């Protein structure tokens, strides 16, 4: 069976999109190839790595990538994780069968110690709802 390709996008590819990539690999890596990128890539945030590791998820080899890294590639699904008012990550113009927009607040901009864990749990909940609809 051919794995479906999923690209997660956010602004910096330092938190939300990396979380989506890692979670999808963990939850359904036998059915999907997961990737991530950002409009203005930074480094994986230490709190992102900490939140993932706290959940027992591997962060090995995780790195931030620009949108251009995937230019010209086909994806079955693109999942955009930007805040609605932060439009930079909506600029990817690649080839996708279907695009989803999940309005997830950027934990880098929230002054709460558990902001990264909350973002991770929100992405997990959405994937738990999304996966049954896209694995048949």
Task: Kindly report, residue by residue over 34-45, the tens digit of the pLDDT.
Answer: 999 998 899 999
| Model confidence pLDDT, tens digit, residues 13-34 | 999 999 999 999 999 999 999 9
- Angle made by CA atoms 31, 70, 78, in degrees to the nearest 5: 50
CA angle (16 as vertex; 14, 20 as ends), nearest 5: 115
Task: Spell out the domains of the chain, with CATH numbers in brackets.
Answer: 4-112 (3.40.50.2300)
pLDDT for res 90: 58
d(CA 82, CA 11): 7
Q: How many CB atoms lie within 10 A of CB 108?
A: 17
- What values do phi and psi take at 53, rounded to 5? -65, -35
Q: What angle do CA 124, 36, 95 make, to 5 degrees?
A: 110
Q: What is the pLDDT of residues 86-125, one digit of tens each?
A: 566 656 677 889 989 898 999 999 999 899 999 999 999 9
């Amino acid at each position: 069976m051919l794995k479906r390709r999923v690209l997660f996008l956010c602004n910096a590819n330092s938190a939300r999109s990396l979380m989506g990539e890692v979670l999808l690999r963990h939850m359904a890596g036998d059915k999907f190839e997961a990737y991530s990128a950002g409009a203005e890539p930074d480094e994986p945030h230490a709190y992102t790595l900490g939140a993932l590791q706290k959940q027992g998820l591997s962060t090995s080899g995780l790195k931030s990538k620009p949108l251009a890294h995937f230019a010209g590639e086909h994806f079955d699904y693109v999942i955009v994780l930007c805040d609605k008012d932060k439009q930079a990550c909506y600029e990817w113009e690649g080839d996708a069968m279907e695009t989803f927009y999940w309005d997830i607040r950027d934990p880098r901009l929230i002054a709460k110690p558990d902001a990264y864990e909350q973002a991770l749990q929100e992405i997990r909940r959405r994937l738990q709802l999304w996966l049954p609809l896209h694995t048949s």
